[in-house]
């Protein structure tokens, strides 16, 4: 009576997977194994390999037994999905370090509030007594405050403690140092020197500390620098220029480009959002300028368009908030100045909304194509 092994061997030979001499050799080997053991062991049907491939020879249970752990020992843990499958004794016996103690959120918030109140009290006392101080006392007060703030920021940064706090202190120190320079030099030269000192310190802080608060300080210093250069250098009081607002608007466009470049190396969301704020400031300046409504519309459209494109790529909500805010403020104001009619404003807003909807559809379709 033919066994299951003979049936499987015949089927493999007829399918062309095995040759006859290979089947005979396997049959003889199985017979020899049965004669040695003295009884007939049940055999499992071998899996059928694909046509044109050699059969995979798997070791028998006698030659490759399953190793079971000894009694009283723990079995080898099976790694879960997504974990490292390699578990060496050294890693298993390595002690887990205790978690670093972290102060509670309430204590941290109360500490920040207390520090802010202390700085506010010192600032109020200084402002209240500023008129009674002499020039030397003003310079000493401003310099001491700047040195104290900057030194505290440097110490916190060196010990890797409270990065956000060190950035905030450095931002305040940059502004106070610029003000102290203005007090020491006085006049138009003092304003320019103060902006230069504050901007240099802010640039060093952005390069070293990489805090978002320093980007905000840099934006504020650059904005003040645009106004100072426009009023003191480009359009002084004795000049006949009447396009000072347009010059300031061009300066804010340059500020936006600087912040956009900084965003390529530092906090991109904060830097590019501040660049959008600079474009908004430029649009406001062009609205103040005579016959600058068209330029205000152009700037107030280019900035939000760039932010919305960035939002389509990164999905940072700050881009959408800043871009839509600029559109909602600049477009109605500029259209009203151009048309002097509410109907013209309504038509312009409809056109702007249609453009935004088309942009959203194009971005969503592109995103779906990227996913598929």
Q: What is the pLDDT of residues 11-45, one digit of tens each?
A: 887 777 777 888 888 888 888 887 777 654 444 45
Q: Identify the residue with better confidence: 178 or 9.
A: 178
What is the H or E stretch that residue 85 is in?
A: none
Task: Please enumerate in sequence order all residues whose Cβ is within 8 A of that of 238, keeping only pairs 6 or more positions apart, or say none.
Answer: none
Full residue range of the structural domain in which residue 189 is found = 136-241
In a domain, 54, yes or no: no
Tell me which of 247 and 109 has the higher pLDDT.
Answer: 247
Confidence of residue 240 (pLDDT cuts 50, 70, 90): low
In-domain check, residue 72: no
Position 90 scores a pLDDT of: 47
Q: Among residues 141, 140, 164, which one has the least CA distance to residue 153?
A: 164
Whole-number pLDDT of residue 328? 83
Quick one: average pLDDT of 238-246?
73
Contact 223, 281 (CB under 8 A): yes
pLDDT at 315: 79
Q: Within a domain: residue 178? A: yes
Residues 331 and 229 in one domain: no
Whether 310 has a pLDDT exceeding 90, the answer reads no
- pLDDT (0 to 100) of residue 285: 93
d(CA 226, CA 195): 10
Higher pLDDT, 238 or 258: 258
213 and 157 in a single domain? The answer is yes
Asked if pLDDT for residue 182 goes beyond 60, the answer is yes
- The arithmetic mean of pLDDT across residues 293-309, rounded, is 89
Q: Domain check: are 259 and 330 in the same one?
A: yes
pTM equals 0.65
Based on the domain organization, do 190 and 150 belong to the same domain? Answer: yes
Torsion 244-245-249-252 (CA) sign: positive
The answer to whether position 246 is within a domain reads no
Residues 216 and 155 in one domain: yes
* pLDDT of 176 over the 80 cut: yes
Give the total number of structural domains in the chain.
3
Q: Which of 341, 332, 325, 317 is nearest to 269 (CA)?
A: 317
In this predicted structure, the answer to whether residue 148 has a pLDDT above a threshold of 70 is yes
Q: Is residue 1 part of a domain?
A: yes
Q: Enter the tokens of residue 95.
A: 């002690």
Q: What is the pLDDT of residue 17?
A: 75
Same domain? For 326 and 362 the reply is yes
In a domain, 342, yes or no: yes
Does residue 266 share a domain with residue 208? no
Q: How far is CA 280 from CA 195, 286, 343, 358, in A?
A: 22, 10, 24, 23
User: Quick one: 287 and 218 in the same domain?
Assistant: no
Whether 171 maps to a domain, the answer reads yes
């Amino acid at each position: 009576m033919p066994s299951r092994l003979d049936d499987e061997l015949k089927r493999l030979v007829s399918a062309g997977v095995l040759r006859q001499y290979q089947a005979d050799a396997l049959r003889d080997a199985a017979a020899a194994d049965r004669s040695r053991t003295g009884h007939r062991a049940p055999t499992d049907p071998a899996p059928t390999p694909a046509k044109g491939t050699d059969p995979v020879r798997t070791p028998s249970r006698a030659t490759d037994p399953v190793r079971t752990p000894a009694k009283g020992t723990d079995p080898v843990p099976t790694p879960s999905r997504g974990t490292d499958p390699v578990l060496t004794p050294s890693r298993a016996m390595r002690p887990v370090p205790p978690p670093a103690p972290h102060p509670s959120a309430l204590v941290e918030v109360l500490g920040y509030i207390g520090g802010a109140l202390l700085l506010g009290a010192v600032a109020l006392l200084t402002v209240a007594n500023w008129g009674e101080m002499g020039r030397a006392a003003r310079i000493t007060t401003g310099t001491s405050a700047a040195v104290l703030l900057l030194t505290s920021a440097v110490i916190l940064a060196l010990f890797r403690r409270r990065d956000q706090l060190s950035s905030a202190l450095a931002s305040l120190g940059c502004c106070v140092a610029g003000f102290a320079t203005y007090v020491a030099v006085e006049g138009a030269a003092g304003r320019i020197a103060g902006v230069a000192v504050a901007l240099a310190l802010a640039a060093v802080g952005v390069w070293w500390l990489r805090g978002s608060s320093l980007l905000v300080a840099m934006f504020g210093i650059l904005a003040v620098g645009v106004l100072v250069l426009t009023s003191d250098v480009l359009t002084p009081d004795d000049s006949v220029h009447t396009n000072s607002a347009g010059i300031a608007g061009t300066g804010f466009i340059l500020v936006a480009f600087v912040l956009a470049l900084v965003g390529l190396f530092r906090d991109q969301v904060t830097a590019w959002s501040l660049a959008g704020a600079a474009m908004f400031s430029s649009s406001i300046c062009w609205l103040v300028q005579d016959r600058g409504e068209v330029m205000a519309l152009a700037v107030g459209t280019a900035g939000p368009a760039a932010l919305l494109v960035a939002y389509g790529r990164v999905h940072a909500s700050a881009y959408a908030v800043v871009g839509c805010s600029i559109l909602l403020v600049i477009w109605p104001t500029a259209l009203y100045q151009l048309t002097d009619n509410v109907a013209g404003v309504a038509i312009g807003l409809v056109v702007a909304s249609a453009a935004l909807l088309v942009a959203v559809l194009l971005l969503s379709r592109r995103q779906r194509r990227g996913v598929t």
